[in-house]
Structure 1
Amino acid sequence: MIRGVRGAITINQNSEEEIITATEELMERLIEENQIQPEQVGSIFISTTGDINAAFPAKALRSFEGWTYVPVMCMQEIPVPNSLKMCIRVMMHVNTTQAQEEVVHVYLKGAKVLRPDLGSSLAK
C-alpha cells in the first residue's frame, strides 16, 4: 500500500544553508519516526512558500546515504492570503504495511500550527 507521509518546518531566513539544514532535519525526523528505507519511497514532493527561493530543498537529500535514486520534485505553494510564511512542506509517497492512522506526520518549529492534531513524540 502506498501511504502519504507529510511534514513541514519553518525557517527564519531565506538562505541556502538554512533551507538545506531545515529540510535535512525534517527528513531525518520523518524517516526515523516511520522507519523508512529509500527503496520504499516512490517519490517525494517538496514545496516552499513564495518567500523561499535561495535553494532547492531537494538538495538536502543528496547528503542521505542510499537516497540518490529517489525521485524528488520541488514546487511552490499557492500564495493564499495570511498563510504561514517561510515554510517548507514535504509529501513522501511510501510503500508500507502501516495503517493510515499509524503513519507519523512531523510538523516542526512554526509549522506545528498547520496540523496541531498530528505529530510525533520526537517532533513535540
Structure 2
Amino acid sequence: MMIRGIRGATTVAENSVTAIEEATIALLEELFRENKLEADAITSIFFSATADVNACFPAKVVRTFKGFEYVPVISMVEMDVPKALPLCIRVMLHCDTTIAQSDVHHAYQKGAQHLRPDLSQKEV
C-alpha cells in the first residue's frame, strides 16, 4: 500500500449551505466511487474554498457519509489570487491504496473542469 494524494474541485452557483453541501457531496461521491475508497483507507481530507464560499464548511459534509466520523477533515480559505476561479471548492484527500499514481482518478466538476483539463478528461 502507498499513501496517495487525490485531488478534486468543483464550483457552486451561489454561496448557500445547500449549494455547498450538494456540490461537496457530488465531488466526494465521485472520488470515493472511482477510486474504490472506504473510510478506513482515508488518512485525511483537506478542503479549501475561495473567500466567496463561506455559508458553511465543506469539510462538515464528510460527516454525512457513513463510517467517516473518525476521518480528520479541515476547511480553509484558498489564496486570494487575482482572476482566480470564483465560488470554487477544492479538495485533497490522502489515502492508503494499491492504485498506481497514474491510475488515480481525480475529479474536476462543473466550472472547475478547466483548472486541470488533463485530469478532467479521464473516463469515468
TM-score after normalising by structure 1: 0.95
Q: CA deviation at 1:121?
A: 2.5
Determine the structure 1 residue equivalent to 2:52. Answer: 51
**Partner of 1:93: helix, strand, or coil?**
strand
Determine the structure 2 residue equivalent to 1:85. Answer: 86
Aligned length: 122
Determine the structure 1 residue equivalent to 2:63. Answer: 62
Q: Within 5 Å, give how 1:88-107 maps onto structure 2.
A: 88-107=89-108
Unaligned runs of 5+ in 1: none
**Partner of 2:117: helix, strand, or coil?**
coil
Give, in whole Å, the separation in 2 of the partners of 1:43 and 1:78: 21
Give, in whole Å, the separation in 2 of the partners of 1:10 and 1:63: 20
Paired letter, 2:90 = R
Paired letter, 1:91 = M
Identical-pair percentage: 52
* CA deviations over 1:78-116 (Å, ceiling 9, x no partner): 001001010000000011111110101000000001000
**Partner of 1:13: helix, strand, or coil?**
coil
Give, in whole Å, the separation in 2 of the partners of 1:121 and 1:64: 25
Q: CA deviation at 1:63?
A: 1.3
Give, in whole Å, the separation in 2 of the partners of 1:80 and 1:61: 27
Paired letter, 1:21 = E
Q: CA deviation at 1:59?
A: 1.5
Give, in whole Å, the separation in 1 of the partners of 2:19 and 2:36: 25
Give, in whole Å, the separation in 2 of the partners of 1:5 and 1:37: 14
Paired letter, 1:74 = S
Deviating 4+ runs (over 2 angstroms)? 119-122
**Partner of 1:28: helix, strand, or coil?**
helix
**Partner of 2:59: helix, strand, or coil?**
helix
**Partner of 1:118: helix, strand, or coil?**
helix
Determine the structure 2 residue equivalent to 1:121. Answer: 123
